[in-house]
Structure 1
Amino acid sequence: MTGDNPLNLDETAEWAGLWWLSDRPHERLPGVLRYDGSGGLSLSLIGAFEDRIMSHPRPGVTAVHEGRQTWDVIHGVAEQREITLLQCVPTGGKRTMFARVESPDKQIVTATFAVIGVHANGEVDPVFSAMEISIEDLGVWASSSVFEGHMGTSDGKFDGTGTISAKPVENVSVTVDGTEYHLSHTHTLPFFDHRKGSTIGRMRDTVAIRVIPSAPSSLAGAMEAARQLQDLIAVAMHRAAGLIWLRLAVAGTASVLPDGSPAPRRYAHVLYSPAALGRHDAKAVNEHQAFFTCGVLPFEEVVPRWCEVHERLQASINMILGLRYAPARFVENNLLTAVGAAEVLHRGLRIDEKPFPQAQFRTMREAMLSQVPAEHRDRFRRAVRNDPTLRDRLLALAARPDSQAMAVLVPNAELWAKRTTQARNDLAHEGTTRSHSSLELVAVVNVTTAVVILNVLHEIGLSSEQQREIVRNHPQLRATSQAGRQWFGRGKAD
């Protein structure tokens, strides 16, 4: 990757410059844009954009109404950069009308997005030719590195010698429906940091995913691509995967230098508050804490499968990831989320499991309707449907992944489906779960979540052997499997 360095979402920054409303480019105000390193963007203006809501009911009369104007787009120039602010709201300020001493107004404006490096006309303005995305633990998931280490030995013992070498890693790419996905490594040159008491040698290997759509994309499209890949890493690593940085190649900026060599492409950097904020210098997780890496499912295989699965099962995936990103404090909330995810997943998988043949069901329903008073028939017809029950759906999900893996996770699927259905129905219909202890409810939530996850992994092509490895050896799923055997073991009575 070339161009200026990305802006990490967990670092503060500020730009002093001139700012204007996109439809009033000649009315410019000085001010400072500040980013707080946690997703917050605040523009402090010297002067003020007119934010009052006014009307003119008749000539010479101006009426001021309650509320304030908001602005979709504010443009700026600061430190030799074009800047676009999106979804802008005035939140404070100070007017100096009728003041004893004349001084400029002050206005504070908050923004949801800042795009540093381009003037865009909104979130759907197609001005970007590519996007580059860095996500927490992406390097671990990529299962590759430019670095190699060697420790010297003499007579079978370490002798104090050794080397760390860097060797470029070939980029891996795949095309899905015209969109290119590239997994790339960028490493710095060796740097020696001489301190008063020691010397530190440094190099840095950064892994990112570059997405090149078939046609110029908008900020909204870039955000969707970032979210799709963020969800992939979150599922693979079984933890919230924070976004570290997002930068976009500005379309139409490719050029050549006087000597004929290509000039660096112009980039724009996006600052906002993602679903999870990445910490670029935090310690990475261990590879053994992942469900899978590119060493198990190669990048060029998993990305096309994920794109299809994510689109088809996005609602269920979102619900399960919600338990990773923002788990509720109370088990009842998690129960509804986990079971809801299972129901939504079953529908997304399009499993055709009607309890009765459709022709037979119509005959039975008409026979029942004939016994119902005419004024109640419409209500009765809507209530009687040929759909699987929650218990049916849970059992169907339990039957899809590898049978040996499922036997380790939940030995008695019938009992799990029964107890899970009862817990959800009791909570939803009666407002209580008296027949379940809090420990059993936790087991219901964790096992149901694991069943959904195994189905998603099964859909993206994780082999039976890999599914068994996960339930037996992954730290969290191993604990979930122990709870599954305790509460839903084969010896348990129905």
Structure 2
Amino acid sequence: MTNDPLNLDESAEWSGLWWLPGAPDEQVPGVLRYEPEDGLVLSLIGTFEDRILSNLSPGMTVFHEGSRTWDVIHGAAEQREITLLGCVPNSSKRTIGARVKSPDKQIVVATTAIIGAHVSGEDDAAFSAAEVSVEDLGLWAASSAFEGFLGASDGRPDGTGSISVKPVETQSVVVDGTEFRLMHRHTLPFFDQRKGGTVGRMRDTAFVRAVPADPFSVSGARATARLVQDLIALATHRAAGVIWLRLEVAGTGLVSPGERPAPPRHADVLCSPSALGKHDGKAVDHHRVFFTCASLPFKEVVPRWCEAHGRLQAATNMILGLRYAPARYVENNLLTAVGAAEVLHRGLGIDEKPFPADEFKAMRDAMLAQVPEEHRDRFRGSIRNDPTLRDRLYALAARTDRDAIARLMPDVDRWARRTTRARNDLAHEGRTPNHSVDELIAIVDVTTAVVILNVLHELGLPAERQRQIVQEHPQLRATASTARKWLVAPGADS
């Protein structure tokens, strides 16, 4: 039985027996199938009772509309314990009264499968560690177990060479009681004899292992996977899919005095993440990566990201959403990018009030005194001592490296004014008659870049690296070009 994690982009199947936790003796045979695009489907030869019924009196049963769902289904298949979570019957076929008696059939759809453990639910703290592999994590780690050497004679390759393997030292850091480890796992050399030749293979996989102080649940493990996934998505400026998620069952692998060490027991999680990782997909071009562990060490970036991810999560979610599921219409992207800028400004704690509190109160009271009493509550709610959108945009542009911002856009004032007007026109009038589509695209791209630069600044990315990103990253370089074309004032702002 292989010890490799189950990749989320590969199909799998388990034949076994299945039961509800409250009735372990009432087992039903069936097959669990996982397809990357379709998810988890359990095909039972037999049924769990999914009808909603009540007994009004002895011998009288009433069937109600709807069907039952099950939080948990347990199973035993292929020599492994399996837990299915979030189970909903898709179809049930009963043969009562049929001419030819045959087994009942039932199709159940599940949201999550834990292959290798029985748990009581999403929040059952049954695991002691989580390991997650995400697309382009190896590139971001800036380390590898492989080294390649090419032979040369007289300065020219002579056809000789070698690939060597050297274990990579684990990097670790503790954040709020959880230890995060950046690790590598590599296979031994394998020679695949083909009819047309021989292929030599080895695989080096980088992954993050999280070990909390106390056991945690599958929902906690998914949150950890999302933390890593979002960090890599930010660093690579693209959607980063989860390739696999493996848990270590708590209480396994322990060694008693005088006993031989037993290997820990693992459980693989199959679910539908926000982005599905392709384990054999082509890696992103290194020119398109904002930062790696070479420019921002693992021990430094992980604690900063853990803190920023919670505090700035709404803003980062909105910006990353433009990478995972970009809208087809520029208006949607405009609201998302500008909304992210507003939310980020609040999350950064630079929400300075335009007026001192005592002066604002005096001004508000004076204005309210001129308003008829029946309208005062409504009028009071519209008077707020908050920065305007334009104020927030100016503050974000001023907060990060000024040279990076200058390379991104030559006219901050024009950007702030045109962005504010576009958002207000769209929000209040439902259209943007004063902006061309090309200008709106430039506004979205520049605003997105400003948010990203602020998040990178919050993570401690050096100013020089921020300038390099704007100047060398293909997408930000294109953004700077459109900014010079569409966000430079030809005269007075119209």
User: For the residues of structure 1 that align with 2:140 and 2:130, how far apart are their CA atoms?
Assistant: 20
User: 1:428 aligns to what?
Assistant: 427
Q: Structure 1 residues 182-191 or 484-493, which shifts more?
A: 484-493
User: 2:202 aligns to what?
Assistant: 203
User: For the residues of structure 1 that align with 2:269 and 2:415, how far apart are their CA atoms?
Assistant: 45
1:102 aligns with 2:101: yes
- Write out aligned runs for 1:225-244 (5 A): 225-244=224-243
What TM-score do you get using the length of structure 1 for normalisation? 0.98
User: For the residues of structure 2 that align with 1:229 and 1:197, how far apart are their CA atoms?
Assistant: 41
User: 2:448 aligns to what?
Assistant: 449
- Do 2:134 and 2:277's aligned partners in 1 also have CA atoms closer than 8 Å? yes
| CA-CA distance at 1:214 after TM superposition | 0.6
Change (3 A) 1:205 1:492: farther
User: 1:299 aligns to what?
Assistant: 298
Listed one character per residue, the Cα deviations across residues 192-248 of structure 1 (whole Å, up to 9, x for unaligned) are 112222111111101110000010000010000000110000000000000000000
Listed one character per residue, the Cα deviations across residues 43-64 of structure 1 (whole Å, up to 9, x for unaligned) are 0000110101112233432211
Q: Which amino acid aligns with 1:449?
A: T
Listed one character per residue, the Cα deviations across residues 286-336 of structure 1 (whole Å, up to 9, x for unaligned) are 222100000100001000000000000001100111100000000011111
Q: SS of the counterpart of 2:48?
A: coil
User: 2:374 aligns to what?
Assistant: 375
Change (3 A) 1:493 1:25: same
| CA-CA distance at 1:259 after TM superposition | 8.2
User: For the residues of structure 2 that align with 1:289 and 1:30, how far apart are their CA atoms?
Assistant: 50
User: For the residues of structure 1 that align with 2:42 and 2:197, how far apart are their CA atoms?
Assistant: 43
User: 1:164 aligns to what?
Assistant: 163
User: For the residues of structure 2 that align with 1:356 and 1:57, how far apart are their CA atoms?
Assistant: 69
User: 2:415 aligns to what?
Assistant: 416
User: For the residues of structure 2 that align with 1:121 and 1:320, how far apart are their CA atoms?
Assistant: 36
User: For the residues of structure 2 that align with 1:409 and 1:56, how far apart are their CA atoms?
Assistant: 71
User: 2:470 aligns to what?
Assistant: 471
- Do 2:438 and 2:486's aligned partners in 1 also have CA atoms closer than 8 Å? no
- Do 2:47 and 2:104's aligned partners in 1 also have CA atoms closer than 8 Å? yes
User: 1:179 aligns to what?
Assistant: 178
1:53 aligns with 2:55: no
1:440 aligns with 2:425: no
| CA-CA distance at 1:84 after TM superposition | 0.2
1:264 aligns with 2:263: yes
User: 1:320 aligns to what?
Assistant: 319
- Do 2:29 and 2:44's aligned partners in 1 also have CA atoms closer than 8 Å? yes
User: For the residues of structure 2 that align with 1:84 and 1:492, how far apart are their CA atoms?
Assistant: 66
Q: SS of the counterpart of 1:281?
A: coil
User: For the residues of structure 1 that align with 2:216 and 2:492, how far apart are their CA atoms?
Assistant: 57
Q: SS of the counterpart of 2:399?
A: coil
Q: Which amino acid aligns with 1:293?
A: T
User: 1:37 aligns to what?
Assistant: 36
Unaligned runs of 5+ in 2: none
Q: SS of the counterpart of 1:49?
A: coil
User: For the residues of structure 1 that align with 2:177 and 2:154, how far apart are their CA atoms?
Assistant: 57
User: For the residues of structure 2 that align with 1:122 and 1:245, how far apart are their CA atoms?
Assistant: 20
What TM-score do you get using the length of structure 2 for normalisation? 0.98
- Do 2:351 and 2:387's aligned partners in 1 also have CA atoms closer than 8 Å? no
Q: SS of the counterpart of 2:457?
A: helix
- Do 1:92 and 1:107's aligned partners in 2 also have CA atoms closer than 8 Å? yes
| CA-CA distance at 1:136 after TM superposition | 0.2
Q: How many residues of Structure 1 are paired with residues of Structure 2 in the alignment?
A: 493
Q: Which amino acid aligns with 2:22?
A: D
- Write out aligned runs for 1:470-489 (5 A): 470-489=469-488
Change (3 A) 1:132 1:3: farther
Q: Which amino acid aligns with 2:456?
A: L
Q: SS of the counterpart of 1:399?
A: helix
